[in-house]
């Protein structure tokens, strides 16, 4: 490891000094989700102060600096610099969030924000409205899918290479405030004055019946409303005849732990352990199923990938360790830590790791805090783990056994019961070049412009299927790529053609009012992990 330079040593000194005053800055301590139902306790600032180790020497230094330092110090500016460094000394998931970042993070977890109610994409350098949320402010004033957003208030956003998140910030704002949106619609300029209001973000992306007996639910994150959304979707599918559920947690990085506990409770028998928490200053706390779950007899398959983390791993681990469901995919992220939020009066906050969580067999799935922690996923690809289960590194000292005798491992994510490697059988040079240039996406944007009125009228999967059958997407797409100097060989098309056409059909489905319900039923037909779960 390289020796720290003078600037870094100075920064470390400030870190140490700042630890002393940290509790003084605390206005309110957020609460950890500790029970399936009920109010979590609030930790007082007095408790935080009394729990500190002896920092007497540092207190003397701080007092001396305050009384004798040669220049006037900007305490607020120094604090902003040193807080991230303090938390960086702890673990990868203890973080400081400035006001704007904390607001965005909390909005994501709460599942709501104040905005205008649209979804948009940026295929080139202009935002294109892909979906208008029903009943939202934008729909009420007449914004339509396909509209090109060229200006927000006095800020031009078309043709200026503005990052997409910057566009989002311009459109969001306080409740009941006005924002002017200028759009280009079929060559004509139209402007709208929109009053921002509360927009609820769904965490259940989609739910539908794959066949007569199998349902599919995809959960993107664990927000405040995730459990109620999930339960509503599951009950609806059961009424449609679902006897087996494929629950997709791929790409789900977690969120509120209590939502994962509530979902686990729906599948487990009374008295079965869901998870337990433990830390140096937190006594072990166990969470058990209460036996009132409505899905205890439901056959269950859980899909995970390298980006399934935290609450996703709590759910997958509880199902795996209780021999309750079959886990499909690749090894999950490996985050077995519980963060507790602390909020400051200026709108900023920190999230401090206070405990590790353990699955029912006793394993903690937190991966090691290596120097290349941020590049762990990249290393998995590099070392072949995404292609072969034999490349997964396991620690025999962290081997556990489920009640049914299945061997499971801790220390590095959830290893699936059925490993499903990345499917490369349909990969060709033509497909790679199309992906690099986002040609499928650009083609669908052009296609949807040409068929906008027809696409807006499609509100059922049956209508979508009927429309897609009228198209010659192979002819149109190959003409589109040829105009960009890219033509596949016959062999390349034989290898990748059907995958590309399926991608196009799914993406076209998403441009209709069906949104994700127009996308996933089509896309899952070429999804190797989902197909493996469906066929087993």
- The answer to whether the beta carbons of residues 19 and 34 sit under 8 Å apart is no
Contact partners, residue 115, CB within 8 Å, separation at least 6:
137, 171, 172, 173, 196, 199
The residue from 248, 258, 321, 515 that is catalytic is: 321
* Spatial distance between the Cα atoms of 271 and 260, rounded to a whole number of angstroms: 17
For the stretch 497-501, contacts whose Cβ atoms lie closer than 8 Å and that sit 24 or more positions apart, written own/partner, are 498/426, 498/526, 499/426, 499/431, 499/526, 500/431, 500/434, 500/440, 501/473, 501/474, 501/477
Backbone phi and psi for residue 371, each to the nearest 5 degrees, phi listed first: -60, -30
Burial group, residue 67, by CB count within 10 angstroms (0-12, 13-18, 19+): exposed
In 269-393, DSSP assigns E strands to 273-279, 282-288, 299-304, 326-329, 337-343, 349-358
Catalytic-labelled residue, pool 335, 428, 515, 516: 335
CA separation for the pair 66, 183 (Å, rounded):
55
CA dist 531 and 214 (Å) reads 12
Q: 498-535 as b/e, with b when 16 or more CB fall inside 10 Å? A: ebbbbbbbbbbbbbbbbbbbbbbbbbbbbbbbbebbbe
**Beta bridge pairs of residue 68:** none
CA geometry: angle 314, 517, 226, nearest 5 deg: 30
Report the run of H or E that residue 407 belongs to, with start and end.
strand 407-409
User: Which DSSP symbol is given to 375?
Assistant: G
- Of 67, 75, 68, 88, the closest CA to residue 18 belongs to 75
Residue in 331, 312, 175 with CA at minimum distance from that of residue 255: 312
The DSSP secondary-structure symbol of 2 reads P
Residues contacting 485, CB < 8 A, separation 6+: none
Out of 145, 220, 226, 310, the active site residue is 310
Told to judge if 335 belongs to the known catalytic residues of this protein, a careful annotator would answer: yes
The count of other CB atoms within 10 Å of the CB of residue 101 is 13
Dihedral of the alpha carbons of 129, 131, 134, 139, in degrees to the nearest 10: 20
Q: How far apart are the first and last CA of the chain?
A: 48
Helix (H, G, I), strand (E, B) or coil at 81: helix
Catalytic residue numbers read 310, 321, 335
């Amino acid at each position: 490891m390289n020796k720290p330079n003078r600037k870094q040593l100075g920064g470390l000194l400030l870190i140490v000094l700042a630890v002393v005053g940290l509790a003084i800055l605390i206005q309110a301590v957020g609460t950890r989700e500790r029970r399936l139902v009920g109010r979590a306790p609030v930790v007082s600032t007095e408790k935080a102060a009394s729990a500190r180790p002896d920092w007497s020497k540092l207190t003397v230094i701080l007092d001396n600096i305050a009384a004798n330092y040669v220049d006037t110090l900007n305490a607020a500016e120094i604090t902003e610099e040193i807080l991230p460094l303090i938390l960086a000394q702890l673990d990868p998931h203890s973080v400081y969030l400035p006001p704007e970042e904390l607001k965005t993070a909390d909005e994501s977890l709460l599942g709501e924000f104040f905005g205008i109610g649209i979804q948009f994409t940026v295929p080139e350098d202009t935002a294109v409205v892909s979906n208008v949320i029903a009943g939202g402010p934008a729909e009420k004033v007449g914004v339509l899918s396909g509209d090109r957003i060229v200006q927000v208030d006095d800020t031009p956003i078309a043709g200026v290479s503005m990052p997409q998140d910057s566009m989002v910030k311009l459109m969001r704002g306080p409740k009941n405030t006005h924002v002017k949106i200028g759009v280009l619609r079929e060559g004509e300029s139209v402007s709208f004055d929109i009053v921002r209001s509360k927009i609820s973000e769904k965490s259940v992306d989609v739910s539908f019946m794959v066949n007569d007996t199998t349902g599919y639910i995809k959960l993107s994150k664990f927000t405040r409303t995730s459990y109620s959304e999930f339960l509503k979707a599951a009950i609806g599918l059961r009424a449609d005849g679902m006897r087996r559920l494929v629950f997709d947690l791929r790409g789900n990085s977690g969120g509120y732990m209590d939502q994962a506990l509530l979902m686990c409770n729906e599948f487990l028998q009374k008295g079965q352990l869901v998870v337990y928490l433990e830390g140096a200053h937190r006594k072990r706390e166990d969470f058990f199923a209460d036996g009132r779950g409505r899905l205890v007899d439901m056959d269950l398959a859980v899909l995970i990938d390298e980006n399934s983390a935290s609450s996703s791993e709590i759910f997958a681990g509880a199902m795996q360790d209780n021999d309750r469901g079959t886990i499909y995919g690749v090894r999950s992220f490996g985050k077995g830590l519980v963060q507790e939020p602390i909020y400051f009066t200026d709108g900023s906050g920190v999230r401090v790791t206070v405990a590790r969580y353990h699955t029912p067999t006793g394993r903690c799935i937190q991966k090691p805090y290596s120097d290349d922690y941020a590049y762990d996923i990249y290393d998995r690809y590099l070392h072949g783990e995404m292609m072969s289960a034999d490349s997964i590194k396991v620690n025999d000292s962290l081997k556990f056994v489920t009640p049914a005798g299945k061997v499971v491992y801790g220390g590095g994510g959830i290893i699936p019961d059925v490993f499903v490697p990345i499917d490369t059988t349909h990969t060709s040079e033509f497909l790679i070049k199309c992906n690099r240039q986002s040609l499928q996406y650009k083609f669908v944007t052009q296609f949807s412009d040409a068929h906008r009125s027809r696409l807006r009228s499609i509100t059922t999967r049956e209508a979508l299927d009927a429309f897609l059958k009228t198209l010659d997407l192979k002819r149109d797409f190959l003409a589109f790529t040829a105009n960009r100097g890219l033509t596949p060989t016959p062999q390349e098309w034989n290898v990748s053609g059907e995958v590309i056409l399926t991608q196009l059909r799914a993406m076209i489905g998403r441009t209709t009012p069906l949104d994700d319900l127009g996308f996933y039923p089509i896309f899952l037909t070429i999804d190797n992990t989902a197909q493996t779960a469906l066929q087993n």
